[in-house]
Amino acid sequence: MIRPVMNCSRQEESDLFMLAISKMVGAEMVFRLSATANLLQSLNERLQLVGFVVCLAGLSVYFSSQP
């Protein structure tokens, strides 16, 4: 949290404003990266499940075709 500063110069005010903007942008990027990581993890879990089901189906077909 940025606290207001009394009697600061224009340059200090500008620096504080830029710092606040960069912190907000940084937090937004971290949030987006976190959301992307969660999405990829969910996708990975689903693909593993699909792979497992396809493997079972393949084994079932293989063993059912054996004499």
Q: 8-67 pLDDT, tens per residue? A: 677 777 778 878 887 887 888 877 888 888 899 999 999 999 999 999 999 999 999 987
Which pLDDT does position 17 carry in this prediction? 80
Single-letter residue type at 41: Q
Q: Spell out the domain ranges in the chain.
A: 8-67
Burial class, 19, CB count within 10 angstroms (exposed 0-12 / middle 13-18 / buried 19+): exposed
Which pLDDT does position 5 carry in this prediction? 54
> Which tokens is 54 given?
């396809």
For residues 15 and 37, what is the distance between their CA atoms, to the nearest angstrom?
Answer: 32
The single residue listed with the structure tokens 């907000």 is: 24
Residue 1 has pLDDT above 60, yes or no: no
Which pLDDT does position 2 carry in this prediction? 55
The closest of 64, 44, 66 to 56, measured between CA atoms, is 64
Which pLDDT does position 30 carry in this prediction? 77
